[in-house]
Structure 1
């Protein structure tokens, strides 16, 4: 499976690209905004394409041409304003969904946020971020794509354990970014995760086993 990673310069995206690069089952294309980012990946032997989530649907569809799956790990980041949250986390995600449909790509994995589906549990300090994730997820669920929505808890930079807890209604928790990247890789061709949305935190089950339980 050839996978387009949207958000390749982010921390989860970077980890996922290395996993896909080392994979025997998949190949990877990194979508980046800047030439210097593309150059850095090209030096690692990673195929890249330049495209911007604030650009057109057609440009994103062109970037995805020839791929079998898209993983959306992009985010505006905590240092930007609500305008970028709207343009990247919501509209950028929606454009990518539309681009997948336009390019004939059926498989789509979305990285969301824990409890984004449940307004009552949104963190009050970042409600616009949660609203963006909520509505992007809802649009994906209403699409014809074979989607999986992973809603990780608080993201940590500590080493992964390879063990997680995955369920449809986890109210709190944290997880290393490394384990999120491994969960994405495991979910790509796991039919049990098709058309499913679930929260994901550190736990006691091996990732492949935890995904079978959602």
Structure 2
């Protein structure tokens, strides 16, 4: 399977690249900075330099030609302001979805955020509120795409603790934490389970092994 990951130098993306390469998939990561390329190669991924804030749909689609699946794991980052939440978390996600549809990469996963499905409370930090609105708008756009077999994953609070392989993966989990290792593991399992297409899923640590949790979603 060939998988192209947007935001290829992100913490979740690098973990996912190592996982996919380790199981024999062909994986490419889209990055904005050429100096990040060696980190992707070390993870077993092909680096593709492309700025999703300025690229055209055709340009991004050319990088997705021949891909079996695409994963949007990009983000403006915690130090960015409201404007880049719009251009990356929303705009780049929409662009990547358009490009995947044009290239025929039907399987499409999105790393979103818990809380993206509702209006943030009035006392929410303005930048974080903009982030949640951008994620919600991007998710809605992806869900409107008839040419994509999408799954939207909304993890809880991310940690760098070692993964346990034990998760709760359902439509609504309630608040909780999840190691980035386990988010990557769930993404890897979702790519192998087409029956999870059309689902918006929240993810926190929980009682089920990753493979069992993904299979339970596919069974409905």
Normalising by structure 1, report the TM-score: 0.94
Structure 1 stretch 95-104 or stretch 36-45: which is displaced more?
36-45
Any conservation in 2 of the 1:57–1:99 contact (CA below 8 Å)? Answer: yes
Q: Which residue of 2 aligns with 1:48?
A: 47
Distance in structure 2 (CA, Å) of the matches to 1:190 and 1:124: 36
Any conservation in 1 of the 2:154–2:201 contact (CA below 8 Å)? Answer: yes
Any conservation in 2 of the 1:169–1:199 contact (CA below 8 Å)? Answer: yes
Q: 2:166 aligns with which of 153, 163, 166?
A: 163
SS class of match (2:169): strand
Distance in structure 2 (CA, Å) of the matches to 1:194 and 1:158: 29
Distance in structure 2 (CA, Å) of the matches to 1:205 and 1:15: 21
Q: Which residue of 2 aligns with 1:38?
A: 37
Q: Which residue of 1 aligns with 2:144?
A: 142
Query: Displacement of 1:212 after TM fit?
Result: 2.7
Q: Number of residue pairs matched?
A: 213
1:173 matched to 2:172? The reply is no
Q: Which residue of 2 aligns with 1:188?
A: 191
Query: Displacement of 1:40 after TM fit?
Result: 3.8
Any conservation in 1 of the 2:154–2:203 contact (CA below 8 Å)? Answer: yes
Q: Which residue of 1 aligns with 2:10?
A: 10
1:131 matched to 2:130? The reply is no
Query: Displacement of 1:86 after TM fit?
Result: 0.6
1:67 matched to 2:67? The reply is yes
1:141-197 Cα deviation digits (max 9, x unpaired)? 110200010000000011000000011122311100000000000000212311111
Please list every run of 5 or more consecutive structure 1 residues that lacks an aligned counterpart in the other structure: none
1:97-121 Cα deviation digits (max 9, x unpaired)? 0000111110100000113113367
SS class of match (2:130): helix
Distance in structure 2 (CA, Å) of the matches to 1:9 and 1:59: 20
Normalising by structure 2, report the TM-score: 0.91
Any conservation in 1 of the 2:18–2:44 contact (CA below 8 Å)? Answer: no
1:53-77 Cα deviation digits (max 9, x unpaired)? 1122222111212211100111001
SS class of match (2:141): helix
Any conservation in 2 of the 1:114–1:171 contact (CA below 8 Å)? Answer: no
CA change 1:3–1:123 in 2 (3 A) is farther
CA change 1:155–1:102 in 2 (3 A) is same
Please list every run of 5 or more consecutive structure 2 residues that lacks an aligned counterpart in the other structure: none
Distance in structure 1 (CA, Å) of the matches to 2:87 and 2:194: 31
Query: Displacement of 1:31 after TM fit?
Result: 1.1
Structure 1 stretch 56-65 or stretch 126-135: which is displaced more?
56-65
CA change 1:43–1:73 in 2 (3 A) is closer
Please give the root-mean-square deviation of Cα atoms over the aligned residues, in Å.
Answer: 1.7
CA change 1:191–1:121 in 2 (3 A) is farther
